[in-house]
Structures are given as C-alpha cells and as structure tokens.
Amino acid sequence: MNNLLEQLLDTLIVLFGVSTLVFLLLVMIPGDPVDVVLGESAQAADRETMRAALGLDRPLLERWGLFYIDLAQGNLGDSLVRRQPVAQLILQRLPATLQLAGAAFLLVLLLALPLGILAARHKGRGLDRLAQGFALIGVSIPNFWLGPLLVLLFSVQLGWTPVSGNLEPGSLLLPAITLGLSMAAITTRMVRSSLLEIESQPFLRTARCKGLSETAVMLRHSLPNAMLPVITVLGLQLGSLLAGAVITEVVFAWPGIGSLMVDAIRQRDYPVVQGVVLFIALSYVLANRLSDLLSGWLDPRIRGTD
Amino acid sequence: MRISAFVLGLWLIMAMAGRLPSLDPHLVSLPDILKPPSTSHWLGTDELGRPVLDRLLAGASVSLLVAVTTVSLSATIGIFIGLLAGYFGGIVDRVISRLIEVFLAFPGMLLAIAMAAMIGPGIDNVIFALAVMGWVGYARLVRVQVMALRQRDHVQAAVALGRTDLAIMIRHLLPLAMAPVWVEASFGLAGAVVAEAGLSFLGLGIQPPDASWGGMIRDGVRYLLVAPHLVLAPGMALFLVVLAANLFGDGLRDRFDVTSRNTP
C-alpha cells in the first residue's frame, strides 16, 4: 500500500513538472506574443483585449498559479482564432485521433507478437533474419515518408485505398500502418529478445520434459513469462502513439488533435497549441504509469515486494 | 558496420558537395517544371524547375550540420549535467534526477514541435529545440556510470591527493564513462536527422527557399501523382542515413559491450 502511495506521489510530481514545462513554452515566445499574433499596427484596445485573454497583463508567478487553477477545472483557455474553449476543440477532434491510435495499436499487436515469436523460435535462421530486418527498417523509416510511399503504392498504383481523409471505408488502413509500423518494429525486437532471455530457464525444460508440445510450452509458459517487458514497452508506445499521430495526421489530412495542433501553429493560436501539447504529454505520462502499475500487478514477484 | 560507415561517409561527401558554388539549388527554371530524371537533370526537377539533385545535396549539407551540432550540443550539456549529478550526489542529484524524469516523461518529438512552434522556425531554433529534447539521454547515462565509478580506487586516490572536483570529473571519471555515450550519440544522430526532417516537413524547420530533405518531401507530396521522384529522392536519402546511423549504433553497442563480446 505504501508502495502505491509512493508511486502516486511520484506521478503527481512528474505531472506537475511536465505541465510546468508546457506552461513555460508560452513564456518562450520571443518578443511580444500580442505583436506576433496581431501585427505591430493593431489597435491599442485590441492589444489590451488579447493581452488579457493570454493573461499577459499579470506577473509570471500569478499566471503560473492561474494556469493550475484553470487546469484543475479542466479549463485550457480559449482559442484566439476560433473563439471556442480549447478543451471543447480537443474533445471534438479526439475521437478521430483515438480511432487512428487504436487501429495502429491493434496493428502493432497483430504484427509484433507473431513476428517476435517466429523470430525467437527460429533464432539465427532465415525467418529470424527477416523479422530482424523488418524491425530495423521499421525503426529507421520516417513516417512522413512512409505515408506518401504507401499512398503511392496502394492508392495510386493499386487503387485499393483512398488517398486521404477519413470519410470512406478503408481510409483508416494506410494512416494506421504509417503510425504503427515503427512501434511494431520496436515491439517485435522486444518480444524476440525477451522470449530468448527466458529460453534457458529451468521451468521451460520441465514443461518440455513433461511432454508438452512446443505450442503449449509457448502459450502456457514462455509467453506469460516473457510478456512483462513487452507490456512496459507497449505502455510507452500507447503514449507515443498520440505524439506520433501529429505527423501522421498531417500526412493524411486526418482531422484529429494532431492536425488541430499543426493548424493552430500556422495560425499562431498559442492557447490551442499549448492545450494540445499539454493533453498529449499528460496522456503519455498516465499511459506509462498505468503500464508500470499493470506489470507490477501481473508479476507476483514485483507485487510481493511491498 | 562497414556498410553503415560507408553510407555515413557518403552523406559527409554529399554534404560537402552541397556547399559547392557550382550548384543551383535555388535556380528557378519555368520551362523545366516537374521533369522526370534525365541526363541533363539526374534526379529530375521540382515544381519550380529547380534541379532535385542540387537540392538533395544542399539538403544533405543542412541535415549534417543540424545533426552534428545538435548531437554535440546535447551530448556536452548532458554529460556535464550527468557528471554533476553522479559526482556530487545528494540534493544536486535529487534535483537533477527529477528534471531528467520530467523530460523523459515528455514525448521527445512533441517537445521539439512545441518549442519550434513557440520560438519560430529557422536552423538555429531547430538546433536549440532538438538539443533541449536531446540532452536527457546523455545525462542519464553518464549519471549512472559516474555513480558506479565514484568508489573506484583511482578516484578515491585522486580525492586523497587533493585534486579538484573538476579535474577528477574530467580526467578520472569521464574517460571511463564515454563508451555508452558514443552509442547514444550514434542513435542520437539518427534521431536528430529524422527530427530535423520532421520539423521541416511540418514547416517548422528549415524555411523555403532553402533546401532540406523534410521540406522537399513536404513540397513533393502535392505532386505525388505526377512527379513521385520529388518525394522518392529525398526520402530515400533520409531513410538510408537514418538506417546507417542506427546500424552503426548497433555495431558500436556490440563492440563496447564486453559481456557479449566474450560469450559467443
């Protein structure tokens, strides 16, 4: 129980640090943000309104405090361009991003588990090399190049999928591959290495001596024991899916929070940029902490050490 | 490892070639718009008739400059901070560790995008944004190494001889802590190349008309159907450099890792 409290406190400190970092981003804008947004020739009254909207008329420490009071109420400020609360904008765009991230995560599971298992079982042979090659390419291919490549192949050459947008069926496939491939590659490596790590454990020899088939050994003994590091990595990726979605959404004109943020950057709509960054960063921290908790709960060895 | 060193060497040569005054990366030639590769333009021309090969070389120069500067800067800052935390321990270490934890808890590319969005585009700002995201890895590595090395006899001897803290850190601790730093720097090089290209792709990095691989991909995507070479050429260059840097890092890790070298 003590352990859980400690972890909670730790998480709170990290959340505090991350949100302060996001708060400080607005302070980093060189010069006067009001000039940047409105131009130097703006009316004095407009400038004052915007100054108040951004909270720039108050001292830094007070703004910092207000930032947290607003945050506690779920208030991320108002968009300068769209005249709407930032939180509302994010909520409107969130389903599209979640759909994309969910599809990508499914793809990671469908690709990485079988590939990693195959690679581990055929260690050093052709299939293993193939899976390792896939992992290396997947890690190295930038998603803003992979996306156009996939479009070129599947939409233009083969005519199987729509080029962009999320209105037609099948439009989810290419963005999901674009977003998920590098994570699938990392996870494949992780599944393979963690299966190989427990390969020489006595309990596997015992299982084989009992006369269990290789499949039964894999399903009942190897996989459950090799999954812990994989779950940690998957948790890390669940968070980075949201961050990675920023570029993927731009490539495919996908109407999620990533393209909301990039549009806001172009329009210098700072509160929206700040809100989306904060939202993604906090989700990332929470996803990581949850996967830590989950692997702790799954592993009796960790669970026992309170 | 040899192949990856070869590709990285090729990148260096391309980057130097990108500085040649005989190149015309900005030469607009309206009769030559969107020409496919030919003998007069080896990699074809872009939507303004500019030669893609010349822009590719100029882009190589930018990506090398950004990547090497970013890695040196982040490594220097990270090593220094890691040394401080590992050597002094106590409250210094606690504060620095928290800081490291916060930065690690932030998805790196998101931080770079957000910073570039706030401080504006341009090559200096890109390097700054990438270094802010990059120092953490080095700091964490060096901190752990130094903490382990701190109690070694030769360090204790140096303390007993009254050497200054700085001299002990730099002459007696740093050289022994460098191996993992080189591995991290190699992966960091790959990361910086992708990140620069990614920022430029989003319009937050190198600004037109200057050439960068990410910017070329961004502009080329609009003409994907009529002139795929605009996306294929810079993308392939980018992919090969990143692949090579990752492979090089893998090779370095295997070489430095004593345990895996001794056991076949």
ipTM of the complex: 0.88
User: Side chain identity at A261, as an amino acid letter?
Assistant: M
Tell me chain B's radius of gyration from C-alpha atoms.
Answer: 22
B263, pLDDT greater than 70: no
pLDDT of residue B66: 96
| B225–A142 C-beta distance less than 8 A | no
Cβ of B44 under 8 Å from any chain A Cβ?
no
CB pairs under 8 A between A and B: 117
| B197–A247 C-beta distance less than 8 A | no
Per-residue pLDDT of chain A (306 residues), as tens digits, is 567 788 888 888 889 999 999 898 888 777 777 777 777 777 888 888 877 777 777 888 888 888 899 888 888 888 888 889 999 999 999 999 999 999 999 999 999 999 999 998 888 888 899 988 999 999 999 999 999 999 888 887 777 777 666 666 678 889 999 999 999 999 999 999 888 888 778 888 888 888 888 888 888 888 888 888 888 888 878 777 888 889 999 998 899 999 999 999 988 888 899 999 999 989 988 888 888 888 777 776 665 544
pLDDT of residue B136: 94
Bridge partners (DSSP) of residue B45 are B51
Bridge partners (DSSP) of residue B126 are none
Chain A residues 257-286 with a CB less than 8 Å from chain B: 261-262, 265-266, 270, 273-274, 277, 280-281, 284-285
Cβ of A105 under 8 Å from any chain B Cβ?
no
| B117–A280 C-beta distance less than 8 A | no
Average pLDDT over residues B240-255: 92
DSSP collapsed to 3 states, A150-181: HHHHHHHHCCCCCCCCCCCCCCCHHHHHHHHH
pLDDT of residue A169: 64
Cβ(A75)–Cβ(A67) below 8 Å: no
CA distance A23 to A21: 5
Which residues on B lie below 8 Å from A14 (Cβ)? 101-102, 105
| B118–A25 C-beta distance less than 8 A | yes
pLDDT of residue B259: 45
Cβ of B105 under 8 Å from any chain A Cβ?
yes
| A156–B217 C-beta distance less than 8 A | no
The DSSP secondary structure of B118-150, one letter per residue, reads HH--SHHHHHHHHHHHHHHHHHHHHHHHHHHHT
Report the 10 Å Cβ neighbour count for A33: 19
pTM of the model: 0.90
pLDDT of residue B182: 93
CA distance B44 to B51: 6
Closest C-alpha to A143, from B219, B195, B66: B195
Query: Which 3 state secondary structure label does DSSP give B50?
Result: coil
pLDDT of residue A272: 92
Cβ of A240 under 8 Å from any chain B Cβ?
yes
CA distance B89 to B207: 44
pLDDT tens profile B129-182: 999 999 999 999 999 999 989 888 999 999 999 999 999 999 999 998 898 899
Average per-residue pLDDT for chain B: 90
Cβ(B93)–Cβ(B50) below 8 Å: no
CA distance B68 to B75: 10
Which residues on B lie below 8 Å from A145 (Cβ)? 217, 231, 235, 238-239
pLDDT of residue A79: 87
